[in-house]
Amino acid sequence: MAMKELVKFREEVKKRKPEFRRYLADRIKKLSRSGYRRPKGIQNKMRKRIFGKPKMPCAGYGGPREARHLHPSGYREVLVYNPADLEKIDKENEAVRIASCVGTKKRLEILKKAEELGIKVLNPRIKRRAYLELKRREEEKEKKEKEKAEETKEEKAEKSEKKEEEKKVPEKKEKAEEPVAQQKEDKEGVEKSKEKTKEAKKGGKKKSTKPQKRSETSAKKGGKRSGRSSPASKTKKGEKS
């Protein structure tokens, strides 16, 4: 039998099954709230299964063994915590139930992958508030990425413009440096010529003044010390004689 047929048969058996209640639950109100309890009294009529007393559960009321723990849709439930768990699932006999501890972001990823693989999800609902918040965050992220992309484009354009300007600047500098270099050379030539003229003037003055003074002083000193007559005195003596 197919899984769905087994589930139908299980439901039919369940309809015929009586409601199991605690002993004296029909008379005492507080016992009706406590569900079923097995009777344990020695003289209890329900425990002895006397006719007319409430029924006790037994093996004959059970449904087909193969249909146990199946979902009403006919699939066997499998808990899933992340998208990787979907790869181990048999989509013909098993259905997925997303764990309660999984967040909305990962829940959306699981739903997308389950849709691609053709796997049934038993609890596909997402909290609207969490979904809207997640959507808002994704939109903000996309905006930031677009702004970054625009900034990178602008930076690249600025860099390219700077490179072009840098290429043009050396040519201008070379053209501007030629007259500047000529001006510097002219200034240096003028300064050198001025220095030469100054040195020449200084040298001429020294030659004219210092040797004369030395000769005069030496002549005076020589006349006094040696007592020798100068040529001028000799000529005067010859004339007298």
CA distance readout (Å), 121 to 110, 114, 204: 9, 7, 116
In-domain check, residue 111: yes
In-domain check, residue 22: no
| pLDDT at residue 174 in the model | 60
User: pLDDT (tens digit, 9 = 90+) per residue, 46-82?
Assistant: 999 999 999 999 988 888 888 888 888 888 999 999 9
In sequence order, the 6+-apart residues with CB closer than 8 A to the CB of 22 are 31, 32, 34, 35, 36, 37
In-domain check, residue 79: yes
Model confidence at 23: pLDDT above 70: yes
In-domain check, residue 194: no
User: Per DSSP, what are the bridge partners of residue 77?
Assistant: 95
What sign for the dihedral angle of Cα 47, 51, 56, 61? positive
Judge whether 76 and 94 are in contact, CB under 8 Å.
Answer: yes
Q: How many domains does the chain have?
A: 1
Domain that holds residue 140: 75-144
In-domain check, residue 104: yes
> What one-letter code names the amino acid at 74?
G
In-domain check, residue 91: yes
240/237 Cα distance (integer angstroms): 5
User: pLDDT (tens digit, 9 = 90+) per residue, 170-198?
Assistant: 665 665 556 666 677 777 777 777 787 77
In-domain check, residue 172: no
| pLDDT at residue 127 in the model | 79
In-domain check, residue 7: no
User: pLDDT (tens digit, 9 = 90+) per residue, 88-115?
Assistant: 999 888 999 999 999 888 998 899 899 8
